[in-house]
Amino acid sequence: MKENIHPTYQDVLFVDSSTGSKFVIGSTLQPKEKETFEGKEYPVCYVAVSSASHPFFTGSTKFIDSEGRVDKFTKRYQRKRQEEGDQKKKQDETAEKLAADKAKKKKK
């Protein structure tokens, strides 16, 4: 077997960013950040979803969005609805002006 071609196997601390749960698992990941857990220093890797926060394992139906994707979507959707409302106001104002101009022309 060739030497020095395989990554080193080490204990890595995984942290669930949505719940803050921490657990140590052996892995070949080489993260640069380190954190102390139970009196020992480990390289740390942050994960968005783990068994501590996934609805299948927790039994809840609530979706935890730690990345803010849902908030980003709702903001974008609200902004689009507001732009559509602004456009409609401008169209209504333009229609009122045209109607007022027609009424003036009829009076003359």
Q: What is the pLDDT of residues 50-104, one digit of tens each?
A: 877 776 667 776 665 666 777 778 888 888 888 888 888 888 888 888 887 777 7
Q: What is the pLDDT of residues 18-56, one digit of tens each?
A: 888 899 999 998 989 999 999 999 999 988 888 777 766
Length of the chain: 108
> What token pair was written down for 69?
């994707």
Per-residue exposure over 68-91, b if at least 16 CB sit within 10 Å of its own CB, e if not: eeeeeeeeeeeeeeeeeeeeeeee
Which residues 6+ apart lie within 8 Å of 16 measured at CB?
Answer: 22, 47, 48, 49, 50, 52, 53
Provide the 10 A C-beta neighbour count for residue 16.
Answer: 20
